[in-house]
Amino acid sequence: MLDQNATRDAKTRLQKEFSALKKISHPNIIKIIDYPSPPNDEFLYYVMEYHEGAKTIKEVCLDDPKRNPYHGNALKCLDLFKQVINAIRACEASSEPEKPIIHRDISPRNILLLPDGSIRLIDFGLCYTEGDETLTMTGENVGTRSYAPPECGAFSKFKVGTHTDIFSAAKVLWSVITSKRVFDSHSIEDHTSMQSMFPHNEDTWHLNRLFENTIQEDPANRFNRTELVLLHIDEIRHVVTGGYPPAETASSRCPSCGLRSIRSSANPRHLFGYFSTRDYTMSECELCGFVVIRKSTRF
């Protein structure tokens, strides 16, 4: 709610948020239940739905990390992340064709977590639709610094798009599972990988596939559509629930017995005839004798 003494930018932000939320209806996005009609420039307000016991992800996962219920829990974090991506998907389809609404400020402060485990995306004051005027000039930053991608920074050469919100959502996922404020880098680094954060919790390692395709400086190296992210979420959920080993262990642990390491073995020609050994490698488990033949990665 704003009165006539509010700044012009504050009024513009509230009007943008109100306009965006009127166009979107989704269980994971906060709903407007009342607003002035016709709009009154002297007294701007709207009323959102209220949820008893709702807290932001920042409050639940970061303010008291030792009590974070999502810490190290890959499946629980994937379920939460899927809700955030579904909210972005609703924004993606909310406006005219080829003109999705981009939130531009997805962060732990702007996601409400309800007692039943569902989420609500809030604060659309910085949202953007292609062709609309924005609140910021070219030389100004937009969004929460550590969670915003480079295209939200000053004088960025990259364009804003759905990939912008996907980037920020992935950084929120990283914070949720690690209970840490997110790293400042625009790309996932070795020291922020799930192996380094959870060396004894291999279920979390599967999430690296998501991070490597979302937290990248160049939008061309990220998923640019929510359906791609949702597909990968379901695939990763499948391998975690199925007990499959993460790809990072494939060169060191037997995929059959899972007990011993695998070591380079004889030339596979004697088993499968003559073919180029430059293209394939053969390994054998020290315990059960399981043989693994892999196609070499050569570029």
pLDDT at site 22: 72
Q: Residue 85 has which token pair? A: 């991506």
pLDDT of residue 135: 40
Average pLDDT value for the chain = 81
- d(CA 12, CA 30) in angstroms, rounded, equals 19
Q: What is the pLDDT of residue 204?
A: 97
DSSP 2: B
Q: Quote the pLDDT of residue 248.
A: 79
Q: Distance between CA 209 and CA 229 in Å, rounded?
A: 10
From the DSSP assignment, how many helices (H) and strands (E) are in the chain?
8, 10
Exposure string of 97-112, with b = 16+ CB inside 10 Å and e = fewer, is eeebbbbbbbbbbbbb
pLDDT at 15: 67
Q: Specify the pLDDT at position 274.
A: 58
pTM of the model: 0.80
Domain extent listing, the chain: 53-241, 250-295
Architecture of domain 53-241: Orthogonal Bundle (1.10)
CA-based nearest residue to 268, from 250, 247, 233, 292: 292
- The low-confidence residues of the chain, meaning pLDDT below 70, are 1-20, 34-46, 95-98, 130-143, 155, 250-251, 265-278, 296-299
Please state, as a whole number, how many other Cβ atoms lie within 10 Å of the Cβ of residue 133: 8
How many angstroms separate the CA atoms of 63 and 71, rounded? 13
**Cβ burial, residue 186 (10 Å; 0-12/13-18/19+):** middle
Neighbours of 225 (CB within 10 A): 14
Instruction: Quote the pLDDT of residue 255.
Output: 74
Question: Residue 101 belongs to what H/E stretch?
Answer: strand 101-102
